[in-house]
Amino acid sequence: MKVLITDGDTQHAIAVVRSLGRRGIEVTSASHRGFMALSFYSKYCSKRIRYPSPSNKSEFIEFMVNTVKNEHYDVLLPLRSMTIPVISEYKEKFLPYTAVPVADYESMKIASDKKESLKLAQKLNVPVPQTIFPKDIKEIQDKAGSFTYPVVVKASFGAGSRGVWYINSAEELVNLFKRKKFDDTPMIQEYIPGEGYGFFALFNHGEPRAIFMHHRLREYPITGGPSVLCESIYDDKLKELGLRVLKALNWHGVAMVEFKHDKRDNLYKLMEINPKFWGSLPLAIVSGVDFPYLTCKMAVEGDIEPVFSYKIGVKFRWLFPLDVLHLMAKPSSIGRFMGDFLDKSIKYSFALDDPLPNLLEPMLIFGHLVINRGRIKYPQGKPRFV
């Protein structure tokens, strides 16, 4: 099997390349960021490609179609929110030459848009945070005094934790919208006190073929963001809610449905749908659900045997750069930071058989500190409850 992955500069691209490469699959890693793509340095990366920025759709699609056509790839596997919607939109152009295990564009548009995702969840009776979708700045000014603070302002598309702002007052809210130019009016959401949980799945045209769940034990930014330390779990209610959402979308390919467990009413509240591979992917793999391999096998063979069981209680820690950044943001966590080295249930991304990507990772910390010095602790703003 010959696989082309996009977004080789993402954290989880290394996990994808290793997963496939260790099974003897020929993997090409591609990115528009060149040497910044750590997966390029994996010994399991057979070839490296630099493509045009996906922000230029026509140039990007033309390049990618010609690549899969001329190089005869069996599977095109996009990994990031920057590339997946574009490839989904133009999927028909690729299908004569390769398999593309991503959802159809109509489903992808809903999953990629936080507003539409929440509206879908509400229709399905899946609990969500109280949310408003303001039409313009005037509506925000009119309603700012009626909110219970803190609130969370979220961009509608992508951006991850970078598209999130924690706001503590009406004045702060109005000022945010005055000083910042948004591509699309973001939503304003109540803050949910509780911890993060994820439901992950691989679907084959509306039918689940693999599932996994995790609990975030630590995250960065400390106000909410990617997993720093997480643990594999199994929860029937979490599974039921995640399946309900993805079945309604007639999903195809992988997706994450992100929840927070509201400690006020003991309910899982849907935060967003992540229509792609996720940062904590290595935890699923070491727990027994090899999503990259299963996805490619399904794409080539048409279907796979379901994988609905896995190891519970496995932990995974992202020491570089996330846990180091978490420690810098919250020095009081030094005890847990050091104590976790003694926890034998915790796995790490460092691979003795493929060390170079991990040896280069600390360089990212230095670059992050230089670019974001002064904003390490609360890059999204400090909510008053912290």
pLDDT in tens, 309-360: 999 999 999 998 788 888 988 999 999 999 999 999 999 989 999 999 998 8
Contact in structure between 220 and 226 (CB atoms under 8 Å): yes
pLDDT of residue 136: 84
The helix (H) or strand (E) run that includes residue 301 is: helix 291-301
Exposure of 288 by Cβ count < 10 A (0-12 exposed, 13-18 middle, 19+ buried)?
Answer: middle
Q: Which whole number is the average pLDDT over 78-105?
A: 98
d(CA 314, CA 343) in angstroms, rounded, equals 11
pLDDT of residue 161: 60
Band (pLDDT 50/70/90 cuts) for residue 223 is: confident
Length of the chain: 386
Higher pLDDT, 212 or 179: 212
Centre a 10 Å sphere on the Cβ of residue 142 and count the other Cβ atoms it contains.
11
Query: Considering only CA atoms, which of 188, 123, 199, 202 is closest in space to residue 151?
Result: 188
Q: Which whole number is the average pLDDT over 184-199?
A: 92
pLDDT of residue 182: 79
Packing angle of the helix pair 114-123, 105-112 (nearest 10 deg) = 100
pLDDT of residue 380: 56
Describe the strand order of the beta sheet including 26-31 as a list of residue ranges. Answer: 45-50, 26-31, 2-5, 75-77
Q: Please say if the pLDDT value at position 7 is more than 80.
A: yes
Contact in structure between 363 and 332 (CB atoms under 8 Å): no
d(CA 169, CA 149) in angstroms, rounded, equals 6
Average pLDDT over the chain reads: 92
pLDDT of residue 126: 99
Band (pLDDT 50/70/90 cuts) for residue 135 is: confident
Domains identified in the chain and CATH numbers: 2-100 (3.40.50.20), 130-190 (3.30.1490.20), 194-372 (3.30.470.20)
pTM > 0.95: no
Q: Which whole number is the average pLDDT over 120-133?
A: 96
Band (pLDDT 50/70/90 cuts) for residue 377 is: low
Centre a 10 Å sphere on the Cβ of residue 136 and count the other Cβ atoms it contains.
10
Q: Please say if the pLDDT value at position 368 is more than 70.
A: no
Lowest-confidence segment of 32-36, 207-211, 374-378, 379-383 by average pLDDT: 374-378
d(CA 337, CA 162) in angstroms, rounded, equals 24
Lowest-confidence segment of 113-127, 157-171, 335-349 by average pLDDT: 157-171
The helix (H) or strand (E) run that includes residue 118 is: helix 114-123
Q: Please say if the pLDDT value at position 162 is more than 90.
A: no
Buried b (16+ CB within 10 A) or exposed e, 30-48: bbbeeeebbbbbbebbbeb
Centre a 10 Å sphere on the Cβ of residue 135 and count the other Cβ atoms it contains.
9
pLDDT in tens, 301-311: 999 999 999 99
Nearest-5° Cα angle at 236, 79 to 239: 25
Name the amino acid, one letter, at 281: L
Buried b (16+ CB within 10 A) or exposed e, 207-237: ebbbbbbbbbbbbbbbbbbbbbbbbbbbbee
